[in-house]
Amino acid sequence: MDLDHVKAVIEKELQSHKGLLSLTLQNHIYGCFIIAEDLSLKSFTLEPNDILVGSKVKFSLKKQFPAIGLRFGFVLDTKLRFTGSREYCELWMEIFRYIAKNCDNAWVDTFEDLIIEVIRTAIEPCDAFFINALDTGSLTQEWVERAIVLLVGEEEEEEEEKSHTGLTEANTEKVVKKPLKSIMKPLAITQRHREEPKDKKNFAYTRRVRISVPKE
């Protein structure tokens, strides 16, 4: 697969989204990373009609593509359902199929480094949610606050805090993958209700904190 094409498509999508849309896109990309990683580790398989299957997981990548961030991202909120460009959607489907067929871990590592570098350069510092989440798989408190502002608006934030319904936490098992040279931080990969890989010694397990703004 042509990584130059991958870079161009992702970069174009990133540059066309700001604020809440940028958060939505980054959350979706993060979810796609998790799927790509698990496919490369054979923890997930890709069945006919692009059905993602794993232990206690069955997910239609084609039909549920906009919900990838809601299921596998670092922010859980229905407002973050993402409908990208046709080119963006087709690209990720090609990537998933390529990884499922080849299980080329070296290619996945190179692909991850490339996309993270694109995100670092294309996203404005004030919108760098993805990069903030890479260290632990969750947003720091400062970035949680930024996400809430985008999701519920500045005027509603104070009301949400008073009612103590602004945030809920969901602990999910996560693997921290090998350090990425491009950012000198580990990529947080969520393992969802699956059996531990046989080469478990290569992984370090941590806990993942999600943020979710409940419906009114």
pLDDT tens column, 35-64: 999 999 999 999 999 999 988 889 999 999
- Tokens of residue 10, six digits: 């992702």
Distance CA 53, CA 118 (A): 29
pLDDT digits (tens, 9 = 90+) for 2-11: 899 999 999 9
Q: How large is the C-alpha radius of gyration of the chain?
A: 17
pTM as predicted: 0.73
Distance CA 66, CA 166 (A): 24
Alpha helices (H) along the chain: 3-15, 19-40, 68-72, 86-102, 105-122, 129-134, 141-152, 154-163
* 79 residue type, one letter: K
* 136 residue type, one letter: T
Residue range 195-206: mean pLDDT, rounded = 32
Distance CA 102, CA 98 (A): 6
